[in-house]
Amino acid sequence: MGRVISQQEFLDEARQFLDANAERRTDAGRVWGEGSDEVAIFAEHTPEQDRVEVGAAKEWRAKVYDAGFGWITGPTQWGGRDLASSYEKAYRALESQYDTPSQAAFGIGLGMIAPTIQSHGTEAAKDRYLPAMYRADVVACQLFSEPEAGSDLAGLKTRAIRDGDEWIVTGQKVWTSGAQFSDIGEIICRTDPDLPKHKGLTGFIVDMKAPGVEVRPLRQMTGGASFNEVFFNEVRVPDDHRLGDVNQGWTVALTTLMNERAAIGGGGIGIEGGGGTGALMYELLRRTGASSDPLLRQKAAALYANTQVAKYTTQRAMAKMAAGQLPGPELSIAKLALTNNLTRMADLVAGALGPRMAADTGEWGTFSWSGLLLGVPGMRVAGGTDEVMKNIIGERVLGLPKEPRGEQRA
Same domain, 394 and 287: yes
pLDDT value, residue 172: 97
Can you give the pLDDT at residue 265?
53
Q: What is the pLDDT of residue 74?
A: 95
Model confidence at 329, in pLDDT bands (50, 70, 90)? confident
How are beta strands 227-238 and 213-218 bridged, if at all?
antiparallel
Q: What is the pLDDT of residues 117-136, one digit of tens each?
A: 999 999 999 999 999 999 99
Does residue 293 fall inside a structural domain? yes
Q: Of 195, 218, 247, which residue is a domain's last?
A: 247
DSSP string, 265-300: HTT---TT-TTSHHHHHHHHHHHHTGGG-HHHHHHH
Q: Looking at residue 320, what is its pLDDT?
A: 73
**Do 226 and 272 have their domain in common?**
no
Domain annotation covers residue 127? no
Using CA atoms, how far apart are residues 382 and 85, in angstroms rounded to an integer?
27
pLDDT at 360 over 70: yes
Look at residue 76 and tell me whether its pLDDT is greater than 80. Answer: yes
Is the residue at 381 inside a domain?
A: yes
Instruction: Summarize the confidence of residues 47-68 as an average pLDDT.
Output: 95
Q: What is the pLDDT of residue 7?
A: 94
Integer Cα distance of 11 and 2 in angstroms:
18
Average pLDDT over the chain reads 88
CATH number at residue 284: 1.20.140.10
pLDDT of residue 169: 98
Do residue 283 and residue 362 come from a single domain?
yes
Distance CA 222, CA 240 (A): 40
Whether the per-residue pLDDT at 404 is higher than 80: the answer is: no
> What is d(CA 264, CA 42) in angstroms, rounded to the nearest whole number?
13
Answer whether 184's CB lies under 8 Å from 138's CB. Answer: yes
Q: How far apart are CA 156 and CA 190, in angstroms?
A: 7
The length of the chain, given as a count of residues: 410
Residue 252 lies in a domain: no
Residue 8 forms part of a structural domain: no
The CATH number of the domain holding residue 159 is: 2.40.110.10
Model pLDDT for residues 256-281, shown as the tens digit of each residue: 887 776 666 555 544 443 346 888 89
Do 317 and 248 form a contact (C-beta atoms < 8 A)? no
Residues 165 and 195 in one domain: yes
Looking at the structure, tell me whether residues 270 and 391 fall in a common domain: yes
Q: Which residues pair with 190 in a beta bridge?
A: 159, 201
Looking at residue 110, its pLDDT comes to 94
Residues 283 and 222 reside in one and the same domain? no
Query: Does residue 156 form part of some domain?
Result: yes
CA 62 from centroid of its chain's CA atoms = 21
Last residue of a domain, one of 214, 247, 280: 247
Within the chain, how many helices (H) and strands (E) appear? 13, 10
- Predicted confidence at residue 216, as pLDDT, reads 96
Q: Whole-model pTM?
A: 0.85
Same domain, 208 and 243: yes
* Alpha-carbon span 304 to 307, nearest angstrom: 5
* CA 106/CA 180 separation, integer angstroms: 13
Overall average pLDDT of the 151-168 stretch: 92
Q: How many angstroms separate the Cα of 125 from the Cα of each of 77, 130, 208, 234, 240?
A: 13, 8, 15, 22, 7
Judging by DSSP bridges, how do beta strands 159-163 and 166-173 pair with one another? antiparallel
Q: 190, 217, 247: which is the final residue of a domain?
A: 247
The residues, any chain, with a CB within 8 Å of residue 68's CB and separated by 6 or more, are: 13, 81
* Best CA proximity match to 139, nearest among 79, 205, 202, 77: 205
Number of domains within the chain:
3
Q: Find residue 171's DSSP bridge partners.
A: 232
- Give dist(CA 348, CA 300) in Å, integer: 7
What is residue 218's three-state secondary structure? strand
Which helix or strand (DSSP H or E) is residue 90 part of? Answer: helix 85-95
Instruction: Judge if 95 and 167 occupy the same domain.
Output: no
Same domain, 80 and 197: no
With beta carbons less than 8 A apart as the criterion, state whether 98 and 104 touch.
Answer: no
Mark whether 384 and 277 lie in a shared domain: yes
pLDDT of residue 128: 97
Reported as a single tens digit per residue, the pLDDT across 305-320 is 999 888 888 777 777 7
Residue 134 lies inside a defined structural domain of this protein = no
Is-contact 127 164, C-beta < 8 A? Answer: no
pLDDT at 189 over 60: yes
Position 98, amino acid: Y
- Other C-beta atoms closer than 10 Å to the C-beta of 376 total 17
- Domain encompassing residue 329: 266-403
Residue 331: band (very low, low, confident or very high) from pLDDT cuts 50, 70, 90: confident
Mean pLDDT (whole number) for 65-94: 94
- At residue 245, φ and ψ (nearest 5 deg) are -80, 160
Question: Do residues 244 and 187 touch, judged by C-beta distance below 8 A?
Answer: no
Q: What is the pLDDT of residue 18?
A: 98
pLDDT at residue 266, as a whole number: 52
Q: How far apart are CA 107 and CA 10, in angstroms?
A: 24
Where would I find the beta strands (DSSP E) of 134-281? Answer: 140-143, 159-163, 166-173, 184-190, 201-207, 213-218, 227-238, 242-243
Choose from 53-57, 222-226, 392-396 the range with maximum mean pLDDT.
53-57
Shared-domain flag, residues 148 and 71: no
pLDDT value, residue 274: 38
C-alpha angle 40-187-379 in degrees, rounded to nearest 5: 20
Residue 341 belongs to a domain: yes
Identify whether residues 384 and 270 lie together within a single domain. yes
